Amino acid sequence: MKLQNIFITLLTALTLSACSKSQMTQINEAPPHVETFSPWFLNLEISGVTSNFGTLKKDGFVDFGLVIPAIKRTELIYLDLESILSPETDLIDVPFYDFEVPSNVTFPKQKESYFVTITLNKPNYRFYVKQPGSYKMVATHGKFPLKKVIKDLKAKKSMFEIINHFKFIQSGSKNVTLANNISEQNIHVNQNRFSSHLTIKAPRFNSSLAMISIALREDSGLLSPTDLKNLKPGQTMRLTTTSTNESKYVASLLRRNNILIQGASIYNEIKSQGEKNLNEMSLVLQDEEALLSPAEFLPLIPRPRLQNKTFTLNAPKETDNIMPLGTYLGLIEIEDIKKGKMKFEKTARVWEQMTEGWQNETPYPDLDFEFKPNRRYRWVVMFLGQKREPLKFLDSLNLNRLTHVTRNALDL
């Protein structure tokens, strides 16, 4: 079993909690507001070294670092693979095999055994952003039991079963401002110890679905992960977090339980099983007070349909606890790229609109945009919801009140 599969298993799961920056205009009137802009295909590089993992013994666990930018709460609606899993790769040399890992994954120097002694030592990271600006880069220290994960991979268990083997220990961060490539952005991973817990309760849901919960800590208005776990229907589980007084949340996602680990490239297999699998999902964000009750999801929705220049969107029904916030429709331009053995989508938003409330249909827009023959395109629809609070004034389309999202997409 190739070691590359182990790392891609974790990172693809973490994709479900990541998002990327975009331009979004909030509105307070019924007519939709449209935003059109040129695709961002910049590859600005942020690079550095992760350190301070502590003394690592030969204990059967592989220690790693994952470097990603922290996000704003208003950016939770954007789920983007390349914002968590770098399309660039680095080569790791181990006995009898060279394997590629995403460039934003690091390994402190350590030795473990799997038939032979394996030495890992990759302290450097590289991460790529699409826009110049300010970012808070967060390096999270995690570990997993090498032999147990390999055993599950060989048994072709679901990715969602395997991620519960991963333990998250601590993290560190560094504020970065860039207009061009920037280096020497070194991060100590031992700044924030994960010594406390949040308790999440799963609702009852169909066994064909999978629920993943991500613990988040908020620091200066930005969210970063501290734990990631798969929950079964009705299960209660503890997620690690910091012991500080900062605000804490759990973002939970519900999606199809159909990603099996088999073959030489996990990422490529997930992609070949249908890109809609990564687009069809429902998300709920709970603060510590809301965690006293089980998570309540909006239902998964069908893909939007396009007929006679009209999109049919299939809005969900309101519930006693969730009220409509807005309807999002966006067009994404996709470039398929290949780095070594790994294939990725490089995406950029080229058009999007937000409409107040939940809409069941919307006309095809009058696009002033040239579709390129060497690109693919995807329409994304999202229904945005907020916790129902009848005694409070709720601003229309205030994404800071966002607590629920259900989404799907149509590939052209």
Residue 295, token pair as written in the block: 């998570």
pLDDT band of 27, cuts 50, 70, 90: very low
Residue 1, token pair as written in the block: 């079993």
Per-residue pLDDT tens for 233-242?
999 999 999 9
Give the global pTM. Answer: 0.84
d(CA 102, CA 87): 7
What is the arithmetic mean of pLDDT over 197-221? 93
pLDDT band of 386, cuts 50, 70, 90: very high
**Which H or E element spans position 148?**
helix 146-154
Per-residue pLDDT tens for 59-80?
999 999 999 999 998 888 876 5
d(CA 258, CA 271): 12
Q: What are residue 124's DSSP bridge partners?
A: 49
The ranges assigned to domains in the chain are: 3-411
Dihedral class, residue 327 (left if φ above 0, else alpha if ψ from -120 to 50, else beta) = beta
pLDDT confidence of residue 273: 45
One-letter amino acid identity for 253? L
Max CA distance (Å), the chain: 65
For residues 259 and 214, which has the higher predicted lDDT (pLDDT)? 214
Using the predicted structure, report yes or no on whether residue 269 has a pLDDT greater than 60: no
Nearest to 71 by CA among 62, 59, 80: 80
For residues 129 and 191, which has the higher predicted lDDT (pLDDT)? 191
Give CA torsion, residues 93, 98, 99, 101, to 10 deg.
30
Residue 141, token pair as written in the block: 């220290």
d(CA 127, CA 67): 7
Distances in whole angstroms, Cα of residue 324 to Cα of each of 23, 158, 304: 21, 33, 18
Using the predicted structure, report yes or no on whether residue 333 has a pLDDT greater than 50: yes
Query: How far apart, in Å, do the first and last CA atoms of the chain sit?
Result: 36
